[in-house]
Amino acid sequence: MRKLWRGVASALVASALAMFVAAGAQAQGAAAPAKDLVLRGDAKCTKCHDQDDNPALLDISRTKHGVKADARTPTCTSCHGESESHINKPAGAAERPKPDRTFKRNDTHTTPAAQSEACTSCHKGGHLIQWAGSAHERTQTSCSSCHSVHVAKDQVLVRATQAGVCYTCHKDVRAQTFAVSAHPIRQGVMSCSSCHAPHGSLSERFSLVKSSVNDTCYTCHAGKRGPFLWPHPPVVEDCGNCHNPHGTNIAPMLNARSPYLCQQCHIIGQHPNVLRSGNALPSNTVGNLGNANTAYLVGQACANCHTKVHGSNHPSGNAFTR
Amino acid sequence: MKVRTDNAAPARRPLALAVAAALLAAGTAHAEPMFQAPLYRGTDMSRYSDNFVEIGGGFNTQDSYKFGQWTGMTERGGYVLGNFNYSSRGAGDSPDYFWANGYNLGFDARDAALGYTSQGRFSVYGSYQGMPFYASDSTKFIFDGLGGTNLVARTSVIGATANPNAGTNPARINAALVPFDLDTQRDIWQVGGKLLFGGNFETYANYRQDNVDGNRLTYGAMFATGGNPRSNALALPVSETTHQFDAGLRWSTDKAQAQLTYWYSKYSPDASSLIWQNPFSIIAGWPAGSGYPNSYGQMSLDPGNTFNQITAQGAWNFMPGWRVNSSLQYSWGTQDAGYLAYYAPIGFAPGGGAIRNPATSSLDGKVDRWLFNIAVNGRPMPRLTLRAKYVYDDNNNKTAENFYRVVPGGLQQAAAPGVQNTPYGSYTVNRASVEADYQLLARTLLRGNYTYVNTKWVDEDRARTYDNIVGVELRQTASELFTGYLKYQYWNRSGSDFTWIAGAPPTPPYFLNNFVQNRVRAQADLGLSETVNLTLAADWSRRSYSEPSSGVDCGAQTGAWPDGNRCMGLQTSSWQTYTADLQWRPTEALSTFVFATYGDLSNDQFGRQINQGINNQNALWTASLAQKSNTYGLGTNYNVATKIDVGATYIYNEGRTNTGLTWGPALAALVPAPLAVPPSTYTLHSFQLYGKWAVTKTLTLRANWWYQKLNAFDYAYDGVNPWASDRTIFAGQNSGGYTNNFYGISIAYTGF
């Protein structure tokens, strides 16, 4: 009997001790501060948001914004705001309020300007120095309309996938890039940002990477810069006078076909004023042998002789034949 | 609590969840690339891991330069699929990491890059990109030495007459033709880096070198001035290098930012000219001895040039809600390549007396430009945003003007004193614009803007142009149900009198001429349901050129036919595009899209024939050029199971270029009488079926079938034999239709 009581007492003591230890441990666990997981100061967020979150918010650790050793990197609240009501759901609230600032295209909770302010509070200079007043800022395109901050590979920063982001709005350009003559955007060899500066630039039109259309084209086609001994006025003014760089039905990305393109300005003496019609086509002549007009209509038409239409540096090149 | 903070293989969470998470994180704007990256781009491993290496093979079923025009997939046969990406970025506790990647390694359009970053301190990188361009695989030439700068005509071309399509000459030309593919390869090398210091400073520098080698199509004319010109197709060798360097110093604080940048470009071609032997026998009007084999033509290639640009920019938030930014840019470019001689130094004694060489041995060309702008953006009231901007742009072509005793086609030099060069490209622009946004409702914006541009032209056909541009816009933003805009723009250009060419119908260059342009744009994004989004977009514009307000009476030139009181040249230019785009995501695992876009770019122009003994209003003609296109797309992507993605994309694109001609009675009476020009057309079918299967935690298998078919007809090339003209020998190329299948399979490893 004594053994029994001793056993019961021991069990009670042990149980009490275990309960005490457990309670202590529980109390200790409740009191321990939460640890940051991927960003400095993210604990108040990551106590709820974990790897299985949808979307995967913690994947920000795989981005430049997740490099804690860089003192400039933000924490969750740097962008989303302190979000007190989101963290501590108000009593009686049916749903947990959203964070102070959310990022989503067509977001009804946070205006595009407020979304962008979260980014421009740090990203002010460099490429962003012309952001205020730029085409995208004026159209209330927020940074997060194009950029994905929480994924390791931001599609708009990858040449092969960037255009797909731009086509979200620029749908006419998407179709133009399928034209039979176009810059290799759909092949992923070039991207929209090869020519365009989406954050604003010094160019007055099209938000180009350089301060004029021609300077932008010369980044790849530097041979056309000249100055030439015999320059061609529409060329030195704007490559776009004859070309549409997104693509057209007529190679090389021409707005109209020669000879008619040339005859939009050149109705002068000798051959430029002559109507070049289908009678010049070899298919309309006996034996497909053409006639005196054929050379002006087919092949490169005017450029069958005037090959140096971008300008000539030959002392005899005033007619762009040399 | 689960968390992954490094680049190791992902935790074994359900793949569907991972995919959905990635898509949602990306946002609807780019939940999925609208077009699956082409096969050669390889596996999109971003859903699985940052680090991967992929290897595989593919088979292309047909030779076609056009199919692989920009990639190098031009020949039937096997290709290696190779891609990799590696980043050593750790668990976030170290700012230092190394990265490297390479894509399309089995193709001409390959690229690779590597770099090292100490985030917040410095970074360096280097990269390579190959950019092929296959222009034609059906061109033929009548020269030996193709690919070089001295082309020698094949003797069998020569006949008793210089008419390529007379007598036995077609057969002679045909026998002499040498097939020669035209393509170029651009290799782009870049290195650079940046350094952050002092808390607010950053400096960077980049160097880029483009090497372009290959051949392009050109033509060479002999005796092109003075009548009876002849020309022939030539392979133009390309071997050039462009060096570009840019560097900058940036400073940034909360309230103000500034940067000073420099850009340098140097273009260096390896050759200065292309010489070809005149393949034509002598004809009436040509100097004695000028036919084959004694005469040569020489064409200048683009001369080397250098360019420098310094830009200073600054911005200051001078009070809450207000920001001013300004920039000053100075650019200067030079071109001083040595002149070519008037004649190729081979065998031809020109007519017209002694040749005077140019007064200088090179152009000593100089262009400089000053660009200044200042802009203020601010919010004087909570609902009102104002913007104002002023731009001064002064471009000066300072190239010296001289007289040149030009010998345009190698026939006879210009009479003394010769022809004076005109250094076009000088202008001064003053541009001022104001814009106001007013927040009508919480999410509704009303905008108005006005821009005035005063341009002073030097050496152009008119001295001044004045542009007035007015725009209004209504924009709805930040709504899940509807966002969109409606814009209208009115643009009017006027200017000073034109200087007309004596004896020619007044033809104002369209890029200087008066016009009125109306443009309407609208777009609506409709959230039809939680899973369906519809976008409708329209862009319509019409620019009507008009008679200058003074200095000419075009009505006296055109009379009543067909539309009196017009100058010659371009009359109207219009474009319109309409798009409907539907995206449907019924489940997180299934996404689909379908879209259609119609486009039309049209030009209407007037001409009047003033030769062939005709010079009256009955010799008027008109040309209406319309480039129409229809593009349709349909695609889906489905996460069949936790380890499998499949998808398909179909794109149809058709283009049709119509040339509508009308002519007056004087031209109808000509022999041969004018005829209609047939449309040029093409249709493209592109279908891709692809799938990815995560075989194990670290291995992913990808298979892909790509079908593409192009039908094309262009009257300028198809059916035009090299001998089809009586004065030009063509290259005989075709439009390059094809039907290709490309099958590929690859495996990617992500276990590192």
The beta-carbon neighbor of B221 closest among A52, A224, A321 is A321
Asked if B510 and A265 come within 8 Å (Cβ–Cβ), the reply is: yes
Tell me the C-alpha distance between A137 and A200, whole Å: 8
B586-637 pLDDT, tens digit each: 998 898 999 999 999 999 999 988 876 666 778 889 999 999 999 999 999 8
Asked if A248 and B93 come within 8 Å (Cβ–Cβ), the reply is: no
Q: What is the pLDDT of residue A191?
A: 93
Diameter over CA atoms, chain B: 94
Asked if A172 and B539 come within 8 Å (Cβ–Cβ), the reply is: yes
Strand order in the sheet with B273-277: B143-144, B150-153, B273-277, B296-300
Q: What is the pLDDT of residue B309?
A: 98
Position B17 pLDDT exceeds 90? no
Nearest CA in chain A to B387: A133
Peptide bond between residue B672 and the one before it cis (omega within 30 degrees of 0): yes
Asked if A317 and B240 come within 8 Å (Cβ–Cβ), the reply is: no
Q: Greater confidence, B92 or B334?
A: B334
Which of A236-245, B131-140, B283-292, B445-454 bottoms out in mean pLDDT, i.e. has the lowest? Answer: B283-292
Position B409 pLDDT exceeds 70? no
Position A152 pLDDT exceeds 50? yes
B505 to A298, A319, B348, B502: CA distances (angstroms)? 25, 20, 38, 8
Q: What DSSP state is assigned to residue A174?
A: H
Nearest CA in chain B to A104: B27
Task: Enter the tokens of residue B513.
Answer: 């001429």
Beta bridge partners of B430: B392, B454
B236-249 pLDDT, tens digit each: 999 999 999 999 99
Q: What is the pLDDT of residue B133?
A: 97
Task: Enter the tokens of residue B487.
Answer: 């814009």
Q: Compute the C-alpha angle A132/A136/A140, nearest 5°.
A: 90
Which residues in chain B have their CB less than 8 angstroms from residue A64's CB? Answer: 119
CB B740 within 8 A of CB B64: yes
Q: What is the pLDDT of residue B40?
A: 38
Tell me the C-alpha distance between B667 and B675, whole Å: 11
A152 class by beta-carbon count within 10 Å (0-12 exposed, 13-18 middle, 19+ buried)? buried
The interface pTM score, or ipTM, of the predicted complex is 0.91
Mean pLDDT value across residues A158-175: 90
Secondary element (H or E) of residue A161: helix A159-166
Position B66 pLDDT exceeds 80? yes
Q: Greater confidence, B528 or B618?
A: B528
Which of A34-38, A166-170, B333-337, B645-649 bottoms out in mean pLDDT, i.e. has the lowest? Answer: A34-38
Nearest CA in chain B to A133: B377
CB B48 within 8 A of CB B694: yes
Q: Greater confidence, B573 or B39?
A: B573
Position B112 pLDDT exceeds 50? yes
Parallel/antiparallel/unpaired status of strands B230-252 and B728-729: parallel
Query: How many other C-beta atoms lie within 10 A of the C-beta of residue A95?
Result: 6
Position A203 pLDDT exceeds 80? yes
Phi and psi torsions of A175, nearest 5°? -70, -40
Asked if B250 and A126 come within 8 Å (Cβ–Cβ), the reply is: yes
Peptide bond between residue B237 and the one before it cis (omega within 30 degrees of 0): no
Work out the pLDDT band at A173, boundaries 50, 70, 90: very high
A184-195 pLDDT, tens digit each: 998 889 999 999
Q: B133: closest CA among B62, B215, B189?
A: B215
Secondary element (H or E) of residue A22: helix A2-31
Which residues in chain B have their CB less than 8 angstroms from residue A290's CB? Answer: 165, 724-726
Average per-residue pLDDT for chain B:
86
Q: Greater confidence, B107 or B406?
A: B107
Mean pLDDT value across residues A146-163: 87
Q: Which residues contact B650 (CB under 8 A, 6 or more apart)?
A: B633, B634, B635, B685, B686, B687, B688
Which residues in chain A have their CB less than 8 angstroms from residue B581's CB? Answer: 171
The alpha-carbon gap from B4 to the nearest alpha carbon of chain A, in Å, equals 7
Which residues in chain A have their CB less than 8 angstroms from residue B26's CB? Answer: 148, 151, 155
Q: What is the pLDDT of residue B498?
A: 85
CB A186 within 8 A of CB B233: no
Q: How far is CA B647 from the centre of its chain?
A: 31
Q: What is the pLDDT of residue B415?
A: 72
Nearest CA in chain B to A301: B716
Q: What is the pLDDT of residue A238?
A: 94
The beta-carbon neighbor of A211 closest among B329, B510, B527 is B329
Q: What is the pLDDT of residue A153?
A: 81
Mean pLDDT value across residues B153-161: 74
Tell me the C-alpha distance between A49 and A36, whole Å: 12
The alpha-carbon gap from B493 to the nearest alpha carbon of chain A, in Å, equals 16
Task: Enter the tokens of residue B381.
Answer: 């009231």
Beta bridge partners of B257: B252, B315
Mean pLDDT value across residues B560-583: 81
Q: Greater confidence, A205 or A108?
A: A205
CB B19 within 8 A of CB B630: no
Q: What is the pLDDT of residue A66?
A: 86
Q: How far apart are the first and last CA of chain A?
A: 123
Asked if B307 and A225 come within 8 Å (Cβ–Cβ), the reply is: yes
Tell me the C-alpha distance between A300 and B219, whole Å: 8
Tell me the C-alpha distance between B538 and B578, whole Å: 4
Secondary element (H or E) of residue B445: strand B444-458
Classified as helix, coil or strand, B300 is strand
| H-type alpha helices, B514-572 | 555-558
Which of B216-225, B344-353, B421-430, B725-734 bottoms out in mean pLDDT, i.e. has the lowest? Answer: B344-353
Position B34 pLDDT exceeds 50? no
CB A203 within 8 A of CB A212: yes
Query: How many other C-beta atoms lie within 10 A of the C-beta of residue A26?
Result: 10
Tell me the C-alpha distance between B148 and B275, whole Å: 9
Which residues in chain A have their CB less than 8 angstroms from residue B363's CB? Answer: 227-229, 313
The beta-carbon neighbor of A70 closest among B120, B224, B251 is B120
Mean pLDDT value across residues A255-272: 91
Asked if B715 and A165 come within 8 Å (Cβ–Cβ), the reply is: no
% of chain A with per-residue pLDDT over 90: 50
Which residues in chain B have their CB less than 8 angstroms from residue A165's CB? Answer: 29-30
Q: What is the pLDDT of residue B507?
A: 86
Work out the pLDDT band at B267, boundaries 50, 70, 90: very high
Task: Enter the tokens of residue B630.
Answer: 């229809």
The CA dihedral of B211, B216, B222, B224, to the nearest 10 degrees, is -90
Asked if B305 and A226 come within 8 Å (Cβ–Cβ), the reply is: yes
The beta-carbon neighbor of A125 closest among B103, B251, B483 is B251
Parallel/antiparallel/unpaired status of strands B699-713 and B644-663: unpaired
Domain extents for chain A? 51-69+100-152, 226-322
Position A254 pLDDT exceeds 50? yes
Which residues in chain B have their CB less than 8 angstroms from residue A316's CB? Answer: 342, 404, 406-408, 410
Q: Which residues contact A304 (CB under 8 A, 6 or more apart)?
A: A295, A296, B219, B221, B231, B728, B730
The alpha-carbon gap from A153 to the nearest alpha carbon of chain B, in Å, equals 6
Asked if B37 and A71 come within 8 Å (Cβ–Cβ), the reply is: no
Position B31 pLDDT exceeds 60? no
Position B494 pLDDT exceeds 80? yes
Query: How many other C-beta atoms lie within 10 A of the C-beta of residue B367?
Result: 24
Mean pLDDT value across residues B59-76: 94
Q: Which residues contact B665 (CB under 8 A, 6 or more apart)?
A: B618
Work out the pLDDT band at B25, boundaries 50, 70, 90: very low
Work out the pLDDT band at B49, boundaries 50, 70, 90: low
| Placement of tokens 């275990």 in the chain | A18
Which of B298-307, B430-439, B561-570 bottoms out in mean pLDDT, i.e. has the lowest? Answer: B561-570
Q: What is the pLDDT of residue B639?
A: 86
The beta-carbon neighbor of B120 closest among A71, A129, A219 is A71
Q: A99: closest CA among A45, A37, A144?
A: A45
The alpha-carbon gap from A105 to the nearest alpha carbon of chain B, in Å, equals 7
Asked if B727 and A292 come within 8 Å (Cβ–Cβ), the reply is: yes
Which residues in chain A have their CB less than 8 angstroms from residue B91's CB? Answer: 61
CB B97 within 8 A of CB A213: no
Mean pLDDT value across residues B371-379: 96
Peptide bond between residue B33 and the one before it cis (omega within 30 degrees of 0): no
Residue type, B164: P
CB B269 within 8 A of CB B243: no
Q: What is the pLDDT of residue B416?
A: 73
Nearest CA in chain B to A257: B625
Handedness of CA B495, B574, B448, A132 (dihedral sign): negative
Which residues in chain B have their CB less than 8 angstroms from residue A284's CB? Answer: 675
Query: Number of residue pairs across A and B with CB atoms under 8 Å?
Result: 559
Tell me the C-alpha distance between B157 and B168, whole Å: 10
Asked if A231 and B300 come within 8 Å (Cβ–Cβ), the reply is: no
Asked if B38 and A187 come within 8 Å (Cβ–Cβ), the reply is: yes
Parallel/antiparallel/unpaired status of strands B419-420 and B403-404: antiparallel
- Of A177, A207, A273, which to mutate for an interface test with B (greatest number of B Cβ within 10 Å)? A273
Beta bridge partners of B104: none
Tell me the C-alpha distance between A129 and B663, whole Å: 55
The beta-carbon neighbor of A202 closest among B103, B327, B387 is B327
Which residues in chain A have their CB less than 8 angstroms from residue B438's CB? Answer: none
Position B484 pLDDT exceeds 80? yes
B650-679 pLDDT, tens digit each: 999 999 999 999 998 888 888 888 999 999
B286-296 pLDDT, tens digit each: 777 778 887 88
Nearest CA in chain A to B107: A189
**Which value, in Å, is the radius of gyration of the alpha carbons in chain B?**
31
Q: How far apart are the first and last CA of chain B?
A: 24
Nearest CA in chain B to A223: B302
The beta-carbon neighbor of A267 closest among B11, B607, B661 is B607
Task: Enter the tokens of residue B36.
Answer: 């699956």
B380-400 pLDDT, tens digit each: 999 999 999 999 999 999 999
Asked if A180 and B655 come within 8 Å (Cβ–Cβ), the reply is: yes
The alpha-carbon gap from B547 to the nearest alpha carbon of chain A, in Å, equals 14
Asked if A125 and B303 come within 8 Å (Cβ–Cβ), the reply is: no
Asked if A57 and B220 come within 8 Å (Cβ–Cβ), the reply is: no
Position A27 pLDDT exceeds 50? no
The beta-carbon neighbor of B510 closest among A59, A264, A317 is A264
Query: How many other C-beta atoms lie within 10 A of the C-beta of residue A246?
Result: 19
The alpha-carbon gap from A164 to the nearest alpha carbon of chain B, in Å, equals 5
Classified as helix, coil or strand, B50 is coil
| H-type alpha helices, B32-132 | none
Query: How many other C-beta atoms lie within 10 A of the C-beta of residue B2?
Result: 11
B657 to A303, B34, B577, B603, B625: CA distances (angstroms)? 19, 27, 15, 11, 7
